[in-house]
Chains A and B, each alone.
Chain A
Amino acid sequence: MSLTYVIEDNEIMSELMTRYLRGITEVKVFHDVISAISAISTDKPDMIFLDVLLTGPDGFTFLNEIVSYEDTAKIPVVIVTSLDLKAESLKNYNVVKIIKKDVMIPDDIKNIAKEILRSENA
């Protein structure tokens, strides 16, 4: 089964995301960037759902880190945030979608996960 990282420091939100992805992919939750970076070299995910404002180093630190390594640079990243981010500002990273927390519905998460997995298997 595929593996997905959910990097989200809010316990409730990370649980909800895990729930939405159940049955589609295996999920590993990280509440901070450091622990996700520590895990990624040994347990590479097929996609990553990333919050931006995190306790400690933020989501951009994580993006810079993974894009700098050959084996993680191409992992598709979905940003899930309350911030008004422009896709243009993230063009140097492998960000495939930005989902706004204040308007998202569970199907947004499910559908993008399925879409990424489909395109990986194609």
Chain B
Amino acid sequence: MATEVNSIFVAAHELKSPLSLLRQLALSMDFDDEKSLKSTQNRMIQVSERALRQVNDLTKINRLEDGLFTLEPVSVRAICDEVTSELRYLYRANHRDISEKYTNKSRLVIANRDLLYSVIYNFCSNAMHYSDEGTKAEISVRDKKGRVEIVVRDFGPALPIKIWKEMKHGWLKEPTSVAMRPGSSGLGLYIASKFSKYMNGEVSAVRHRDGTSFTLVLPVSTQATLFGD
């Protein structure tokens, strides 16, 4: 019960931020001229889309228990490309950047497309939030002993040790408390953790002196060999 209440509290707080921002942007329109009105409108769209994505992810968690997400061969590079192209604009607007490095030969993994997209999106979005201004996060995909490893590396403050410890020993059992979690990483990592587990994947985090790497390892689809991959 305590865990459930804490999770609801964290989710509510997480959604309070974009709603406050939207309200503030709407109020600021009183000061806008025609040119800046367009920019405010674009920002409102961005903020609401991010919040909607989070709400969608939260509703998916509930559906995981019903087993409604099919696992099938999915192209991991294509999904990484989609995520980075969606987020690149936001990265640049925040004076950061993201690059891709693909060395994997196994193109297909066993996963659910929507869930995998959400996990990679959460990792990359988290990396943007925690990267220092002017830095370039990196998403890399490589083969690892019959599995595929997706790593998102950021350059900024390292992951709080409490979250790192929990990820080291398995999964995030609940979103982290607001008090120890600056910004907005807790809920995103919790969602990523849940979705990865459903896809028989493993998530982990490595703390660097100058940032954090988040890793998702997924089983390779044997179907890949049929295409000569």
Where the two chains meet, the residues of A that have a C-beta atom closer than 8 Å to any C-beta of B are 9-13, 16, 19, 31, 53-56, 58, 82-83, 101-102, 104-106
Contact = CB atoms under 8 A, between A and B. Distances in A.
6 smallest CB-CB distances across A and B, nearest first, come from A56-B157, A101-B20, A102-B20, A53-B182, A55-B183, A16-B28
B93 interface: yes
A96 B137 CA distance: 39
B37 interface: no
6 contacts: A12-B25, A53-B178, A53-B183, A56-B182, A102-B23, A106-B27
B129 interface: yes
B13 interface: yes
Contacts of A83: 178
Nearest to A58: B182
Interface in B31-77: 31, 43, 47
B156 interface: yes
Interface residues of B, number: 26
Chain B interface main SS type: helix
A17 B27 CA distance: 12
A58 B181 CA distance: 10
A58 B157 CA distance: 12
B222 interface: no
A55 B156 contact: yes
Given A54-B182, A55-B129, A83-B178, A106 B16 contact: no
A31 B156 CA distance: 13
Contacts of B25: 12, 16
A82 B43 CA distance: 20
A115 B44 CA distance: 31
